[in-house]
Amino acid sequence: GNSVTQMEGPVTLSEEAFLTINCTYTATGYPSLFWYVQYPGEGLQLLLKATKADDKGSNKGFEATYRKETTSFHLEKGSVQVSDSAVYFCALSDGFGNEKLTFGTGTRLTIIP
Amino acid sequence: EPEVTQTPSHQVTQMGQEVILRCVPISNHLYFYWYRQILGQKVEFLVSFYNNEISEKSEIFDDQFSVERPDGSNFTLKIRSTKLEDSAMYFCASKGGRGNNEQFFGPGTRLTVL
């Protein structure tokens, strides 16, 4: 079945540091890939997505590139802010039928001033 | 901007009691989902619903669980006899159509079973 393996957390960085959160996946076919963010006390919000190989999703300074050859979708940001502190989830949908999401374990990111 | 809403935000219940969690998906969406997140763990798929019937369910979604779209706007998750291990955050999500794969999530209902 489908699975998502995500970098273990928690991750603590200083403001303006470079961020990478690793995500790899196992899936049949051609899944769509997502990063969701969960701020404290809130629900899940879509951060960015990519639907085919070599696509780059980007939003709010975050980027991730769909790499089929390495089955990866790593999240990056060049300069993090305190407001980026949240839990980040990598997810995939298989594109068949109801397209349910399969999530990784989540990575808690804390940015210190 | 349209959004998915869920009520209540927090539900406390005694073991063995029935609970109903309510969701109002985005109005023109066609696909509906329930997920749950046990504290500190990953978000897990429970069930998907399309065209007034369950389209897929996970192993977690046993006979104690049911879903319903009673009136064309609400989407409910019922747990018939709650267990301690049902304590979790339950998220509802909806999606517009088959070609649009973005799911929109509600803020969640925290269920605490005592």
Closest CA in chain A for residue B93: A44
Mean predicted confidence (pLDDT) in B12-30: 95
**SS3 per-residue string spanning A18-40:** CEEECEEEECCCCCEEEEEEECC
**Whether the Cβ atoms of residue A7 and residue A107 lie closer than 8 Å to each other:** yes
pLDDT at A9: 82
d(CA A4, CA B114): 32
Which residues are paired to B21 by β-bridges?
A: B77
Does B91 contact A93 at a Cβ distance shorter than 8 Å? Answer: no
Chain A hits for B105, Cβ within 8 Å: 36, 43-45
Does A102 contact B45 at a Cβ distance shorter than 8 Å? Answer: yes
Mean predicted confidence (pLDDT) in A64-91: 96
Task: Report pLDDT digits (tens) over B57-104.
Answer: 999 999 999 999 988 889 999 999 999 999 999 999 999 876 666 889
**Whether the Cβ atoms of residue B79 and residue B19 lie closer than 8 Å to each other:** yes
State the CB neighbour count (10 A cutoff) for residue A34: 28
Does B56 contact A43 at a Cβ distance shorter than 8 Å? Answer: no
What does the mean pLDDT of chain B come to? Answer: 92
pLDDT at B39: 87
CA distances from A107 to A10, A57, A91, A94, B71 (A): 6, 19, 12, 22, 38
**Whether the Cβ atoms of residue A98 and residue B55 lie closer than 8 Å to each other:** yes
pLDDT at A42: 81
What does the mean pLDDT of chain A come to? Answer: 92
CA distance B18 to chain A (A): 24
pLDDT at B98: 66
d(CA B66, CA B61): 8
pLDDT at B99: 63
Q: What percent of chain A has pLDDT over 70?
A: 96
Looking at the predicted structure, is the pLDDT value of residue A61 above 80? Answer: yes
Mean predicted confidence (pLDDT) in A31-53: 91
Residues of A near B (CB-CB distance < 8 A)? 32, 36, 42-46, 49, 51, 89, 91, 93, 95, 97-106
Nearest to A43 among B31, B41, B108 (CB): B108
Task: Report pLDDT digits (tens) over A91-102.
Answer: 998 766 668 899
Q: What percent of chain A has pLDDT over 90?
A: 77
Mean predicted confidence (pLDDT) in A32-47: 90
Chain A hits for B107, Cβ within 8 Å: 42-43
pLDDT at B100: 61
pLDDT at A98: 63
